[in-house]
A and B are shown apart, each in its own frame.
Chain A
Amino acid sequence: MNDLLFDFTLDKTKKTVYINREFDADLSLVWDAFTKKEILDQWWAPKPLASKTKVMNFKVGGRRFYAMVSPEGQERWSIQKYTSISPKTNFKFLNAFADKDENPELPGSEWDLSFSEENGKTKVSISIYNESLERMEKMIEWGFKEALTITLKSLEDLLATLSGK
């Protein structure tokens, strides 16, 4: 679809998934897209799921408490607790599934996201460490499969609305 870098590898011994992706936008915009809930909620959930961030306090010790919402209205809550932030360079968080009252289901996974800009393109490198690979399977089990079979119609609608503003 485009020629932007995208690679995805699993290191089974380290129980870590590595994801690298380039974006055709400058660093500060991509950083905002990952760290501001207004933008995050527009892309984080693979359609037809929707991302709904209830709380987001982007600072060390702060958290994002959000749900993936299915078209039927079923909610899957998660907490991301920020453990380290170097503005426009890197941030880390602990991710755990939770119930709607913010009780986490431990253990979670450890996320590390790095950002760098070159020639107007921004590269994002993500590593996700999971104590249990079973848990990673859960991440997929929960509704995500739907995302693979649907059209991007609803997203296009949203973007059309945004563009119209």
Chain B
Amino acid sequence: MRRDIFHAIADPTRRAIITLIAVQAMTPNAIADNFHTTRQSVSKHLRILTECQLVKQEQKGREIYYSLEIEKMKEIDKWMDQFRKIWETRFNQLDKVLSTIKKQKK
């Protein structure tokens, strides 16, 4: 099973968790209160997010708080940048093809 950032954000519940803890660090119970799902299911998602290194845990007293690894989220932007470059290349190729066809027509 792959454990990377894309696996982390592939699930709607996990995206919602990310959105929640992006604002403030939260305990698993506080996170679970936001979902109509079992505490167990939220724990599973938190475990996956942790394995993907997208969230970090911090012990405060008796509670564990989860918060977002902002740096890790930036990987998505890097990846988007690559996708953008593919289209840039593709469109530059199309520019040349169009210009060639236009010349042929004249």
Contacts and interface: CB of A to CB of B under 8 A. Distances in A.
Interface of A: 1-2, 4, 6, 8, 10, 12-13, 17, 19, 21, 23-25, 29-30, 33, 39, 42-47, 132-134, 136-137, 139-140, 144-145, 147-148, 152, 155-156, 159, 162-163, 165
Interface stretch (B31-39, B56-64, B91-99): B91-99
Interface string B70-94: 0000001001101111111111111
A132 B86 contact: no
Determine the interface band of chain B, counting residues with CB < 8 A from chain A.
20 to 34
Given A8-B87, A24-B98, A137-B79, 8 more contacts: A8-B80, A21-B91, A43-B93, A44-B90, A134-B10, A139-B83, A155-B96, A165-B104
Contacts of A1: 92
Q: Is the interface of B mostly helix, strand, loop or mixed?
A: helix
Contacts of B93: 42-43, 46-47, 152, 155
Nearest to A23: B98
